[in-house]
Amino acid sequence: MIFVHGAVVDSFTRCTHYHSDVDIIAIKFKCCGLYYPCFQCHDEVRQHETKRWRKEELKEELVVLCGNCKKELTFGEYNDGASRCAFCQARFNPKCALHYDLYFDLG
C-alpha cells in the first residue's frame, strides 16, 4: 500500500485543501519521491524546494495515484484519460490541470 502524506482527510486521498467528490488523486513529488494530495500539503510539511518532473521523465515514471483504486499512473495515463482513471474509470477533477505547472515542466 502506498502512503499519502499531508493533511489527508479520507482514504480517497482528499485533503483539507481539496476535498470535493472528484479530488481523488495524489501526486508523487520529484523532490522527495513521496505522494501528497496537493502542493499545499507538501509545502506545509517539507522544508525543501519543490522540483518538477521534466517532460521526458513523465513517459515512464508513475507520478499519479488514483485514490479510488490505488493504482499508480504515468502522467500520460492520467492526462489522456479525459479526467478519469485509466484503470477504474473514477472521475478526477479536471481543474487539477490548472496546477500542472507546480508539479510538471511540460515546456
> pLDDT tens for residues 12-71?
999 999 999 999 999 999 999 999 999 999 999 998 999 999 999 999 999 999 999 999
Cα angle at 41 between 87 and 68, to 5 degrees?
Answer: 20
Write down the pLDDT at residue 89.
97
CB 100 within 8 A of CB 106: yes
Residues 42, 27: Cα–Cα separation, whole Å: 10
Compute the average pLDDT of residues 80-93.
Answer: 95
Write down the pLDDT at residue 43.
96
Cα angle at 58 between 11 and 49, to 5 degrees?
Answer: 75
Write down the pLDDT at residue 1.
86
Residues 107, 98: Cα–Cα separation, whole Å: 15
Q: How confident is the model at residue 81 (pLDDT cuts 50, 70, 90)?
A: confident
- What does residue 95 show for φ and ψ, rounded to 5 degrees? -75, -10
